[in-house]
Amino acid sequence: MLKDVVTRIESKLEQKGLSASKASELAGLSRDAIRNLQRSVNEGRPGGASTRTITALASVLDVSPAWLLSGDGPADASGNDDLDPDHTLFTEEEIKLAIQSIVGSPAMRNEEPGFIAGMVISFMIQRRRLARGNSQEAG
């Protein structure tokens, strides 16, 4: 899993023209935060990234934490400003689906509740955006 996360980070670094140390600093992390993740993968060490690291890097790389962790949903999070004003109002069914999808992932079993809540909201927004996109194409 960490290897996939690092691959996505490296891809976004290249797209944005950022070095690992610059992106780490912009995220408010140590200069070596990304390089330490890369080193762990290259040396085959088990481990992962903290929720703080994932969330901070996602912000700098303009992606959602959910995409950075799993690769699910759109990679580009720059369109968040064009959501409807009520984008935080979801049906009970949408919330249940999001919780089941996120909590059902083995990677999420040991995560903090606040991080899982953020992932659930991100997942729900992505699903709503996809649904709106599909309905506009059909119309």
Give the SS3 label for residue 88.
coil
Segments making up each domain of the chain, as ranges: 2-138
Query: Across 18-22, 54-58, 84-88, 102-106, which has the greatest mean pLDDT?
Result: 18-22
Determine the pLDDT at residue 48. Answer: 76
pTM: 0.58
Average pLDDT, the chain: 77
Of the candidate CATH numbers 1.10.260.40, 3.40.190.10, 1.10.1050.10, 3.40.640.10, the domain formed by 2-138 belongs to: 1.10.260.40
What is the rounded distance in angstroms from the CA atom of residue 74 to the CA atom of residue 26? 23
